């Protein structure tokens, strides 16, 4: 395969939001991996159309909880959330909980997850509607 063809595939890969492409034919081929594709810190939120909704995604791996043990849940659909307010917690394998903070203020428009559900990096948790 000519380097110009591989370059064309690499350029297309950047526009397609892919992390890896592997091509094999008749014992020949190539594999391309985007820089940082194996680093969870470089994963981004799923592509969302710009508009009044902002997705809030998991920035960790673990079990999702809407509140700390013994405390009341504050995040429900229709509730107003302030920027920086904890909207939930991710409990990691070591048992340490990490707060998920609202990136901006707004109204909780849609919840995508239930308490006790396992979450991954970049997984949508809810949508905030800008006011």
Residue range 16-43, pLDDT digits in tens: 666 676 767 777 776 767 655 545 544 4
Same domain, yes or no: 14 and 74: no
Domain count, the chain: 2
Same domain, yes or no: 15 and 71: no
Same domain, yes or no: 81 and 121: yes
The answer to whether position 90 is within a domain reads yes
Same domain, yes or no: 82 and 27: no
Kind of pairing between the strands at 53-57 and 80-81: unpaired
The answer to whether position 41 is within a domain reads no
Confidence band, pLDDT 50/70/90 cuts, at residue 86: very high
Same domain, yes or no: 92 and 115: yes
The answer to whether position 55 is within a domain reads yes
The answer to whether position 58 is within a domain reads yes
Same domain, yes or no: 26 and 58: no
Same domain, yes or no: 12 and 54: no
Same domain, yes or no: 120 and 68: yes
- In angstroms, the CA 44 to CA 46 distance is 6
Domain range holding 107?
46-129
Same domain, yes or no: 25 and 70: no
Which stretches within 1-131 are classed as H helix? 3-15
Same domain, yes or no: 72 and 115: yes
Same domain, yes or no: 56 and 22: no
Q: How much is the pLDDT for 48? A: 47
Q: Which helix (H) or strand (E) holds 58?
A: none
pTM for this predicted structure: 0.59
Instruction: Extract the runs of DSSP E, i.e. beta strands, from 1-131.
Output: 20-25, 28-33, 53-57, 62-65, 80-81, 86-91, 97-101, 106-111, 118-119, 124-129
Report CA 45 to chain centroid distance, whole Å.
Answer: 4
Per the rule left: phi > 0, alpha: psi between -120 and 50, beta: everything else, 106 is left
Residue 40 gets which letter from DSSP? G
Same domain, yes or no: 26 and 59: no
Residue 116 gets which letter from DSSP? T
């Amino acid at each position: 395969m000519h380097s110009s063809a591989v370059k064309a595939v690499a350029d297309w890969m950047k526009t397609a939001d892919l992390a890896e492409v592997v091509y094999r034919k008749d014992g020949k081929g190539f594999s391309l991996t985007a820089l940082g594709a194996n680093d969870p810190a470089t994963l981004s939120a799923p592509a969302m159309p710009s508009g009044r909704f902002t997705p809030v995604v998991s920035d960790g791996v673990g079990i999702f909880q809407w509140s700390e043990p013994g405390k009341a849940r504050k995040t429900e659909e229709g509730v107003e959330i302030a920027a920086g307010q904890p909207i939930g917690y991710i409990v990691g394998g070591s048992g340490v909980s990490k707060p998920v903070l609202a990136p901006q203020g707004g109204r909780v428009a849609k919840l995508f997850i239930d308490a006790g559900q396992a979450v991954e990096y970049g997984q949508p948790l809810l949508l905030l509607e800008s006011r």
